[in-house]
Structure 1
Amino acid sequence: MKIHPHRQHPLWLAFFLHRVSGIALALFLPAHFYVLALALTDPSQLDGFLAWTSNPLVKIAEYGLVFLLAVHMFGGLRLLALEFLPWSARQKSLAAASLALAFFLSTTFFLQAV
């Protein structure tokens, strides 16, 4: 399989992660709204769902969700920087720092949730 030249650029990964995180968050939102609606329509079912969320696999999934949210937020900031700041050679380092910060934030959340 041939790799396209634009996919070899280091910032292509930042582009790809921003798109994937946006899609994943968009898929999560309907489930989130459904659970919020349970608080109004069926509190006993909400209690059962909240008990289920103590499962360690759910905690890991929450970690992934917070990671995706942080990646998407910092990816958006990267795009704003591309739009409004002059192009520089440091952008690759800033993109890597954004990913590292997203990982740090989601790991901090995960360690407090466990």
Structure 2
Amino acid sequence: MIRPHRRHPLWLAYMLHRLSGLALALFLPAHFWVLSLALTDPAQLDQLLGFADNPAVKLAEAGLVFLLAVHFFGGIRLLVLEFLPWSQRQKSLAAGAIAGAFLISGLFLLRAV
């Protein structure tokens, strides 16, 4: 049985913010490792950059941009909750944040392909 608070749209925004933050935190060590290849092993970096032209990798990058946008807009939503009075518009703002994340990641995907 789903608990009543988990049916609230802002609970989804809460979970998306937490999960996107976790996914980004897991991605960062791999990102730093690839960046370090520029200094330590340029040949391997070139090989990885060639692999990055794969359409599946482009789709994964768009997913990463989506997670970053979700986390960014989720953080803005939390700042609004902290500093502005609560209203029914909060649900609309949370939905707008998710829509903005989809827009940003979609534009990235269109430009990357």
Query: Are 2:69 and 1:70 aligned?
Result: yes
* Residues matched between the structures, number: 113
Match of 1:108 in 2: 107
Match of 2:4 in 1: 5
What is the CA deviation profile of residues 52-75 of structure 1, one whole-angstrom value per residue up to 9, with x for unaligned ones?
000000000000000000000000
Paired with 2:9 and 2:107, the residues of 1 have a C-alpha distance of: 27
Paired with 2:101 and 2:16, the residues of 1 have a C-alpha distance of: 12
Paired with 1:5 and 1:92, the residues of 2 have a C-alpha distance of: 16
How does 1:28-43 map onto structure 2 within 5 Å?
28-43=27-42
Runs of 4+ deviating beyond 6 Å = none
Match of 1:15 in 2: 14
**What's the CA shift for 1:9?**
1.0
Q: Where does structure 2 lack aligned partners over 5 or more consecutive residues?
A: none
Paired with 2:34 and 2:27, the residues of 1 have a C-alpha distance of: 11
Match of 1:52 in 2: 51
Paired with 1:103 and 1:55, the residues of 2 have a C-alpha distance of: 22
Equivalent pairs: percent with the same residue?
71
**What's the CA shift for 1:5?**
1.3
Q: Where does structure 1 lack aligned partners over 5 or more consecutive residues?
A: none
What amino acid is aligned across from residue 73 of structure 2 in structure 1? F
**What's the CA shift for 1:8?**
1.1
Range with greater deviation from structure 2 (60-69 or 4-13):
4-13
Aligned CA RMSD, in angstroms, stands at: 0.4
**What is the TM-score when the length of structure 1 is the normalising length?**
0.98
**What is the TM-score when the length of structure 2 is the normalising length?**
0.99
